[in-house]
Structure 1
Amino acid sequence: MQITVTLETLPPRGVLEARWRDLEARANASFYTSWSWIGCWLQVLPANLAPQLLVAHHAGRTVGMGLVIKGKAKLLQIIPVPCWYLHATGLEAVDELTIEYNGFLVERGHDIKVKHAMLDHLLHQTSVGRIEIKLASRQLDMLARQTTQKPAWQAGKNAIVRSTGFTSYMVNLDQVRTSAKGYLSLLSGNTRSQIRRSMAAYKELGELVVEEARTPEQAHAFMAELRKLHGQTWLGRGERSGFSFSPIARQFHDQVIEHGFARGEVQVLRISAGGQDVGYLYNLVHRGHVVYYQSGLRYGVLPKHDRPGLVCHSLAVEHNTQAGHHFYDFAAGNYRYKDSLSTHKEPQHTHVFQRDGVLPRLDRDLRALKSQIRHWREHLRLWRKCTAQSAMSTLLALTPIGLDIDCVSLLQAIPP
């Protein structure tokens, strides 16, 4: 399969949208690599950034595309080096929009070969020997493994890969539909109990209602309330929410609603009890995959069992099950509520590909050593904890037979 890859300046927006939508229809895209995300992202980029279009061609047609921006990264945490960022910038103020399920947009049936060619072009056919792909879908995991496992005789084409893993938590809605006892039966007994008690408490205020925004105007109105509640929650923790207060985030998500709502790709839900707001959820929808993006929750409505998040998400799962979607995705992030409410997990990774060299190798080895030290420290901490618990058990067993032992003082003498 002959693949030609080029790196181009961006064509006019209308031309780019048409080309992107055409390939998107032939690709296994996520919402984050659809034009509904990419087009809005381009609109909020600072003027000093110059994204470039990476294009792969085969047999006279486009089979792969991606947008890259040249930024800066650091080797050994101190040496600045140029870096390509795929659908990202390397700037926190912009990248806190948080792309997930990232990757090259590639025609079905040619995934690995086309992605290899695109990655190879960036690493070996440009002056920039590094590319970072934040929160990539698992389709890129095989590419990362194959790149790492190239034989030594291909030294000129070798790359060093560093991958950081994350977990996405989701509910399989097809499984919910086939469950005789519904969604809650798929969760742990403790989680079921918490949700049911909280729902019963809310129902004392009146009927629990899930309302989905039906117009862009209603979606914007719901989002205004969501931002307010979300911002209040963060201010209560002594922090400012980027989602609620960042001008870039506000402009971006307003654009997502404007461009994606009519396509059925934006879902904003209001959950209420007896007319009182319980919370709002902002979800992104693509090909039956509903990804939870943000929430605004009203705490303090109930004196007991005040769990608006568990209730809102449980009702949203039921709502999307009835709507015929396939997954309700809590996205990446190790939060207890995501684990408690999910039935399924999927990996995502941030991959850093670097052209082989002395400094990248040293960077990789030092990072590996640092990770190993953290691993050893954790093992030592657990060993000390187990030793302390074992000592306590022994002392408690000896105390009844008449030994005068101050257990607490002895345990305090054990190093933390």
Structure 2
Amino acid sequence: MRDSREIYFRLEKLPSRAALEREWRALDAAGAHSFFLSWSWINAMLSSWPERFSLLRASRGDSTHALALVTWRHGWQAHLFPVRQAFLNTIGDPQADGVMIEHNGFALAGVEEGALWLGLLEFFAEGAFGARELVVPGMSQHKGALPREISSAENIRFAYRTDLRKVAETGVAQCVSRNTRQQLRRNLRDAGGNVAITAAKDKDEALAYFAELKALHIRSWEKRRKHHAFDNPIFEPFHHAVISTGIEDGSVELLRLEAGSRLLGYLYNFQRNGVVSSYQSGFAEEVARPGYLCHAAAMEHYAARGLLTYDFLAGTNQLKSSLGLERYELCWRRYRRPSLGVIAEQLAHWAVQRAKPAM
């Protein structure tokens, strides 16, 4: 007889989209998980790759407490040994994963996240995934101990965010450094007035804003001869699906920002549980530093509405480090069961460390 306090995992064939939506939205209503694990994002993944996923369910007793998507792919360990990999809430294809999930994990409610991760890794260690590696991109740092037979490899990326309660008390200018504060005031004066924000009212207007964001984004990045998000052919149709679902329930917002009669740009943001995730942008170049003006205005806009955090997400640049008051870490992690490939990677790492000169 099962212990009603224990978490049990099982892999299932996906149910109908309507049935899955009902279950997922029930967890959304009760859970503290990120936007990237909400139905708006998950539905876009299923619409883009409908045949690729299985459902991972975590239950306690007769109640479902967590859901995630899983897919499989063949990769390599130590560039020599083939390995079957299971991917959590992502495809495992570099182009498809260019849409960039962050704050990855489970849609969950009524269960402690640490216990859930421990249960998942034990499930993986038992061989239930039929894979030697479990790949979880864009997760928050895992704090718990690993099962004895599981090792991990990770790639850490820094991200920035700001507590909007501080912004609500003093405004953005008083939260940032003196140099950034002076630049914001000078740029705002040069732009010709206070920043006005208009949010798209419905799906059609949101998609129109997204198209204008795309044009500005491409112009700016191509001018600098750099690759941009829209180079990926999957990016735009995927986000059309995200917008189409999220604009209806208020979890997606497209903003147009102007100063006087001048267009500054567009922001494409997600909202969930008090967190604003600043996902994509496109800025006009008729004024100096439009990105700073847009994000500063958006931070005050959301602070006035009582939201808690403005998250610039993974990646580092001068804008994020200037307006983001807290630096934190996201982790692209591979959990690994014992194999020749794992042993080879560990030996190679040991040899590199031994070869480094003593400090």
Task: Verify same fold: TM over 0.5.
Answer: yes
Q: Call closer, same or farther: CA 1:108–1:272 in 2, change over 3 Å.
A: same
Q: Call closer, same or farther: CA 1:372–1:256 in 2, change over 3 Å.
A: farther
Note the residue ranges of structure 2 that are not aligned, 5 or more in a row: none
Alignment equivalent of 1:229, drawn from 196, 216, 220: 216
Q: CA deviation at 1:245?
A: 4.5
1: CA distance between counterparts of 2:65 and 2:119? Answer: 11
Which residue is 2:175 aligned to?
186
Alignment equivalent of 1:132, drawn from 122, 131, 135: 135
Corresponding position: 1:338 with 2:325:
no
Q: CA deviation at 1:369?
A: 5.1
Q: Is the 8 A contact 1:228 1:244 kept in 2?
A: no
1: CA distance between counterparts of 2:175 and 2:227? Answer: 36
Alignment equivalent of 2:24, drawn from 4, 20, 23: 20
TM-score if structure 2 supplies the norm length? Answer: 0.92
Q: Call closer, same or farther: CA 1:214–1:367 in 2, change over 3 Å.
A: farther
Q: CA deviation at 1:365?
A: 4.0
Corresponding position: 1:286 with 2:272:
yes
- Amino acid in structure 2 at the alignment position of 1:64: A
Q: CA deviation at 1:372?
A: 8.0
TM-score if structure 1 supplies the norm length? Answer: 0.80
2: CA distance between counterparts of 1:132 and 1:3? Answer: 21
Alignment equivalent of 2:290, drawn from 304, 308, 317: 308
Q: Secondary structure at the match of 2:222?
A: helix
Q: Call closer, same or farther: CA 1:321–1:60 in 2, change over 3 Å.
A: same
Q: Call closer, same or farther: CA 1:295–1:370 in 2, change over 3 Å.
A: farther
Which residue is 2:91 aligned to?
89
Which residue is 2:165 aligned to?
174
Per-residue displacement from partner, 1:295-332 (whole Å, max 9, x unpaired)? 10112x14xxx111111111111111112111111111
Which residue is 1:116 aligned to?
118
Which residue is 2:207 aligned to?
220
Which residue is 1:33 aligned to?
37
Q: Which of structure 1's runs of 4+ aligned residues deviate more than 6 A?
A: none
Q: Is the 8 A contact 2:257 2:266 kept in 1?
A: yes
Which residue is 2:342 aligned to?
360
Which residue is 2:156 aligned to?
165
2: CA distance between counterparts of 1:126 and 1:208? Answer: 51
2: CA distance between counterparts of 1:72 and 1:350? Answer: 18
- Amino acid in structure 1 at the alignment position of 2:7: I
Corresponding position: 1:272 with 2:261:
no
Q: CA deviation at 1:128?
A: 0.8
Corresponding position: 1:79 with 2:61:
no
Per-residue displacement from partner, 1:186-236 (whole Å, max 9, x unpaired)? 111111111111111001xx5532222222222111111100010111211
1: CA distance between counterparts of 2:190 and 2:351? Answer: 52
Q: Call closer, same or farther: CA 1:39–1:274 in 2, change over 3 Å.
A: same
Which residue is 2:243 aligned to?
257
Q: Is the 8 A contact 1:54 1:118 kept in 2?
A: no
1: CA distance between counterparts of 2:14 and 2:54? Answer: 6
Higher helix share: 1
2: CA distance between counterparts of 1:108 and 1:128? Answer: 28
Q: CA deviation at 1:134?
A: 0.2
Structure of higher RCO (CA pairs closer than 8 Å, 6+ residues apart): 2
1: CA distance between counterparts of 2:175 and 2:217? Answer: 29
Q: Secondary structure at the match of 2:234?
A: helix
Q: Secondary structure at the match of 1:25?
A: helix
1: CA distance between counterparts of 2:301 and 2:315? Answer: 23
2: CA distance between counterparts of 1:211 and 1:87? Answer: 33
2: CA distance between counterparts of 1:76 and 1:316? Answer: 45
2: CA distance between counterparts of 1:367 and 1:69? Answer: 29
Q: Is the 8 A contact 1:8 1:52 kept in 2?
A: yes
1: CA distance between counterparts of 2:40 and 2:104? Answer: 14
Which residue is 1:391 aligned to?
none
Q: Secondary structure at the match of 1:142?
A: coil
2: CA distance between counterparts of 1:367 and 1:334? Answer: 27
1: CA distance between counterparts of 2:320 and 2:113? Answer: 30
2: CA distance between counterparts of 1:188 and 1:224? Answer: 34
Note the residue ranges of structure 1 that are not aligned, 5 or more in a row: 380-416
1: CA distance between counterparts of 2:293 and 2:80? Answer: 46
2: CA distance between counterparts of 1:324 and 1:214? Answer: 20
2: CA distance between counterparts of 1:101 and 1:201? Answer: 37
Q: Is the 8 A contact 1:172 1:327 kept in 2?
A: yes
1: CA distance between counterparts of 2:26 and 2:348? Answer: 44
| CA-based RMSD | 2.1
